[in-house]
């Protein structure tokens, strides 16, 4: 069994997401065997509203090259995390890529760009 493990971190400027959420720092790592690579990630979300937001699901938006390699359970991760008003939360997820026939160097050279996410949220809205 061959295990590969890389830790890659990204620090980028905050990017706005729908519903008053702001996407902050993103970290991800690669691990597993040569035939199948697990991509684990943690994103930081800030709730810039005055109301609690419940993040239901998080799905990374990948390049076409990586999308063709997604295996097992797909990309959507159940989050079910409440982010209080004007606060931040880290949300983690993972997905698997079919990397059969690729060397460690070829896996590392894949275009791992995790900087866009589809986020499903739920909010309680009340009349003032």
Q: Regarding predicted confidence, which is higher, 67 or 8?
A: 67
So what's the pLDDT on residue 73?
81
**CATH assignment, 4-123:** 2.60.40
So what's the pLDDT on residue 103?
86
Q: Regarding predicted confidence, which is higher, 2 or 56?
A: 56
Residue % of the chain over a pLDDT of 70: 85
Domain residues of the chain, as ranges?
Answer: 4-123
26-30, long-range: CB < 8 A, 24+ apart: 26/114, 26/115, 28/112, 28/114, 29/5, 30/4, 30/5, 30/6, 30/107, 30/108, 30/112
Residue 123 pLDDT exceeds 60: yes
Residue 17 pLDDT exceeds 60: no
So what's the pLDDT on residue 11?
43
So what's the pLDDT on residue 4?
43
For 41-93, write each residue's pLDDT tens digit.
999 999 998 889 999 999 999 998 899 999 878 899 999 999 999 999 999 99
């Amino acid at each position: 069994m061959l295990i590969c493990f890389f830790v890659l971190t990204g620090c980028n400027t905050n990017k706005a997401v729908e519903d008053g959420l702001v996407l902050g720092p993103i970290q991800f790592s690669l691990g597993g065997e040569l035939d199948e690579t697990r991509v684990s990630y943690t994103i930081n979300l800030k709730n810039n509203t005055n109301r609690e937001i419940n993040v239901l699901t998080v799905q990374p938006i990948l390049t076409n090259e990586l999308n063709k390699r997604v295996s097992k359970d797909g990309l959507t991760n159940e989050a079910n995390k409440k982010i209080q008003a004007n606060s931040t939360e880290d949300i983690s997820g993972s997905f698997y890529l079919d990397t059969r026939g690729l060397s460690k160097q070829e896996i590392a050279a894949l275009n791992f760009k995790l900087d866009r996410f589809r986020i499903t949220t739920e909010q309680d809205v009340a009349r003032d």
